[in-house]
Amino acid sequence: MTTAPLLWQPDLSARRKPLLCDFMTQAAKTAGRALDSFADLHAWSVARPQEFWPLAWDFCGLEGDKGTVPLVAHADPMQVRFFPEARLNIADSFLKNADGREAIVFIGEDGCRITWSRAELKREVEQLAAALRTAGITAGDHVAGYVPNMPQTVAAMLATASLGAVWSSCAPESGPDVVVDRFGQIAPKLMFAADGYFYNGKTFETRDAITEVASRVPSIERIVVWPYAGGAEELPEGMMAYEAFKQVDAPALACRVMGFRDPLYVMFSSGTTGKPKCIEHSGGGTLLRMLVEQQLHCDLRPGDRMFYYTTCNWMMWNWQVAALASEASIVLFDGNPAHPGISRLFDVVEAEKVTHFGISAKYIDASLKRRNRPADSHDLAALRVVLSTGSPLSPEGFAHVYADWKADVQLASICGGTDILGCFIGGCPLLPVHQGEIQAPMLGLDAATLNDQGEVVEGMAGELVCRNAHPSMPTRFLNDPGNARYRASYYETYPDIWRQGDFTIRTGHGGFVVLGRSDATLNPGGVRIGTAEIYRQLDKIEEVADAVVVGQSFDNDVRVVLFVQTAEGAVLDEALTTRVKTEIRKNASPRHVPAKIIAVTDIPRTKSGKTAELAVRDVVNKHPVRNLSGLANPQALALFADHPELQI
């Protein structure tokens, strides 16, 4: 492949060097040899996990006793155990040095602004923890949140963690069926909720949805609601107001000591390929992984301000909140990121002096299409790192950030998932950013690209894998006897090698290009094509508002079918169809050109905003869609069923 243009080069001569430089110096002492480059450091971190992970624990400031045994090795990666003697509670790391420094800033779409200091956050956690204990919550119990991205949600999670209980959350815009599919599997004893939320200039009340969820999840014994969109005095019977629930005379926090592998979170898969998997994650492993990613790969420091646009449906909520353990502030936003205009989030970045701004690739592409240029309209002097995830970021999206947002930022495109509550590949403050490329594998993870024969390849497409065990692997799937579903999800394709399900190219720079989900990879004539390669060309065409591309089994082969939702006022006529094909042929290859381009009025998406390629593919190929509840707009699938243009 051609060499990608260089967009950013770190200035390592500056007085303030990245934290990773200090870590590399300490790692060289631990290794007893020189580690002169990130590649050297990464190779050591993979080869010597028994040295790397204890050093990362100490350097990143994880509170607790790590014990004397860093890991117990095993040929089966699912049987490797990290820090088996460790004793800790992650709430101690989140709440350390609870002083007057700002911990949380909340910005609501309606203009509401709330700030909590580290001391105020800790006191809120103490009051909730005492109330949860009185309510009978103890270690191993499940507590659920049907909640917006608010300070109270953070406090509820930390109070849950302080008792050794397990936290799971869904955003309030999720319908009852979606929530029941998830919470019904984990049997929570208590559920936190808000009485509504704001989105796109409208107010949505959720009391009826809360009542329905509670009626269908019989394990829920108590519902605690904070008045966000309405009033606590109007709560139905069976719900308790948040302020009334808190124990105001609570004693000082004394966290229950837990093991490194004891559970903290249950996360859920999107549900588009079957009933959502309940993925259990440990407290110690998850937080250690996130500290490494944030401090070493993103150079997050005490006093920095992390803002990641997310909801409580997405793992990025858990990831952002972990910044508190680095003594950074977190900036929370709840609502439509483009209301009343695309510059709304940049208003927040400017006003709150955000240093680390995280957003989806889809938002960056929308900013590009709308010719948004915050470099001219906003003071972004504090901004050092831009993070992007959710789907592959197009080369044009990379260029847009540097040309129109800010030229001197580290653009860290990251790729990982709910599966590990972290990243396999992502940013590195010691390396340059090349257009369209993720910079590097993450420390401690042996990420690689394999072909169908299981061979490591460079410069050609293959499966993203991880060839070693690491602390933030799931502890288990709930309701999965013998770990059968867990093993089938990741270890069926390559024995003892984790297959993530992303189609990637390892570049000559040591970075990665992500082409799309390998499960949705197109295979016309036996040639594998990543869907992102097609979307990348559509991003250049303003008349295309949205699209989904799938493979249709047809005439003993697979043909590429592109469904297009046009922008307002545009029509998919012969001229636009020709233009789409020309762009794809010119910038991708003739094999990428769809056999069919069909206009539709809506594109199905998951609750986390991803294009539901697999669901559309199933409908097009007349296969059953295994779980509709994971979709934000399942009614859109009817547009693809038995479409007349698919019959010829």
> What confidence tens digit (pLDDT) does each residue in 509-558 have?
899 999 887 777 787 866 667 788 889 889 889 999 999 999 998 877 78
Query: What distance in Å separates the CA atoms of residue 162 and residue 129, rounded to the nearest whole number?
Result: 7
**Residue 367: other Cβ atoms inside 10 A:** 23
Q: Which CATH class is domain 529-646?
A: alpha beta
The CA-CA-CA angle for residues 52, 58, 64, to 5°, reads 120
Question: According to DSSP H, which parts of 392-541 are helical?
Answer: 395-400, 484-490, 531-538
Inform me whether the pLDDT recorded for 272 exceeds 60. Answer: no
Beta-bridge partners for 104: 116, 330
Q: Does 529-646 match 117-259 at the fold level?
A: no
Residue reference for tokens 């502030």: 329
For 186-230, what is each residue's pLDDT tens digit? 999 999 999 999 999 999 999 999 999 999 999 999 999 998 987
- Structure tokens belonging to residue 643: 């479409």
Asked if the model's pLDDT at residue 14 lies above 80, the reply is no
CA dist., res. 116 & res. 114, Å (int): 7
- Band (pLDDT 50/70/90 cuts) for residue 1 is very low
> Is the pLDDT score of 2 beyond 60?
no
Could you tell me the residue ranges of all domains in the chain? 117-259, 529-646
User: Contact at 8 Å (CB) between 646 and 620?
Assistant: yes
**Structure token pair of residue 381:** 């002097």
Here the tokens at position 441 are 């594998």
- Kind plus residue range of the DSSP H or E element containing 202: strand 202-205
pLDDT tens-digit series, residues 488-506: 999 999 999 999 989 899 9
pLDDT band at 133 (very low <50, low <70, confident <90, very high): very high
Note the Cα 627 to chain centre separation in Å.
21
* pLDDT tens-digit series, residues 365-405: 889 989 999 999 999 999 999 999 988 898 999 999 999 99
What's the pLDDT tens digit per position in 141-180?
999 999 999 999 999 999 999 999 999 999 998 888 888 9
Query: Can you tell me the mean pLDDT for 584-595?
Result: 85
pLDDT, averaged across the chain: 93
- Phi and psi for 52 in degrees, rounded to 5? -65, -50
Rounded mean pLDDT, 620-640: 88
Residue 364 — pLDDT band, cuts 50, 70, 90?
A: very high
Q: Which residues pair with 440 in a beta bridge?
A: 426
- Domain 117-259, what architecture? 3-Layer(aba) Sandwich (3.40)
Which pLDDT does position 528 carry in this prediction? Answer: 67
Element (H, E) at 216: helix 207-216
Cβ proximity of 92 and 325 under 8 Å: no
Distance CA 397, CA 362 (A): 9
Note whether 613 and 578 are within 8 A (CB).
no
Distance (Å, whole) CA 277 – CA 630 = 11
Q: Are 160 and 167 in contact (CB under 8 A)?
A: yes
* Token reading at 305: 């301000």
Answer whether residue 407 shows pLDDT above 70: yes
Q: Can you tell me the distance from the alpha carbon of 212 to that of 215, in angstroms, rounded to the nearest whole number?
A: 5
Place of tokens 């966290």: 255
